[in-house]
Amino acid sequence: MGYAIPTIGIGAVDKKSARQRKYPSSRNGTHRVTIGRWFISLDCGLFPDEQYTEFATGLQYSSDSNFIQTGKISRIQRSLEENHLKPQRTVRYFPEGMRNCYNITVKQGTNYLIRVRAIYGNYDGLNHYPMFDLYIGPNYWVTIDTQKNNIFDTKRTLFLRYEKKRIYENAITFRCHVGKKPAPRRNSRPYFH
């Protein structure tokens, strides 16, 4: 059992300086990006120390490898890549363990906007929609059920977006991904793009 994720965006949000822009999204309208004093976009599964600017959005992406020590990297099914922007084509998946964490340093008393995008592009060749929980620190955030919460589905490709704006009191926040217990359709590996 495992899970995977394609992209994570984390940003400090200052109400006075933050503004929103609309950018084209993969074949399904637009998505909003909050621009503040500090924002990082992680391409989960990108090779360590790599970075690039995504043409369609203008966002700069870097590898998630500096924020997590577990998991393996892969790509979505090649025939599905043309349906997705570059950050959604690579994944970090977690075939082992029930708990895998991203370690991200935060500043006390600052508001943070956290976005996680989960796209199942049959990266594992199993054709099973994964299901897993996300935690911020020890606190449960959301269950990602990639079959039930189908927003964008093309040839077994799934696009989900979860957002959370929250004030953190700790110097370091952990984003943890806890795989659900196996069930017939939950046998796929969780992932991050």
**What are the extents of the domains in the chain?**
3-192
Q: How confident is the model at residue 51 (pLDDT cuts 50, 70, 90)?
A: very high
Tell me which residue of 184, 180, 185, 179 sits closest to 148, measured CA to CA.
Answer: 185
In the chain, pLDDT over 90 holds for what percent of residues? 4
Distant-in-sequence, close-in-space partners of 158: CB < 8 Å, separation ≥ 6? 118, 119, 120, 121, 129, 146, 147, 150, 151, 152
In this prediction the pTM is 0.67
Question: HSE-up of 82 (CA within 13 Å, CB side)?
Answer: 2
Check pLDDT > 50 for residue 15: no
Cα–Cα dist 59/76, whole Å: 21
* Full DSSP string of the chain: --EEE-EEEEEE--TTT-EEEEEE-SSS-EEEEEE-SEEEEEETTPPTT-EEE-TTT--EEEESTTT-S--EEEE--GGGGGGS-GGGTEEEE--S-SEEEEEEE--TT-EEEEEEEE----TTSS----EEEEEETTEEEEEEETTTT-SEESSS-EEEEEEEEEE--SSEEEEEEEEPPP-TTTTSPEEE-
- Residue 50: band (very low, low, confident or very high) from pLDDT cuts 50, 70, 90: very high
Residue 33 vs residue 99, higher pLDDT: 99
Share of the chain above pLDDT 70, in %: 52
- The pair of structure tokens assigned to 190 is 């969780």
- Pairwise CA distance, residues 118 & 14, whole Å: 26
**Confidence at residue 159, expressed as pLDDT on a 0 to 100 scale:** 38
Residue 61's nearest CA partner among 24, 8, 104 is 8
Does 187 score more than 50 pLDDT? no
pLDDT digits (tens, 9 = 90+) for 151-184: 443 333 333 444 454 444 443 333 445 555 444 3
Q: How many CA atoms lie within 13 A of 140 on its CB side?
A: 6
Q: Evaluate whether 163 touches 64 at the Cβ level (below 8 Å).
A: no
| pLDDT tens string 53-111 | 988 888 888 998 988 888 899 998 898 888 888 888 888 888 887 778 888 777 666 66
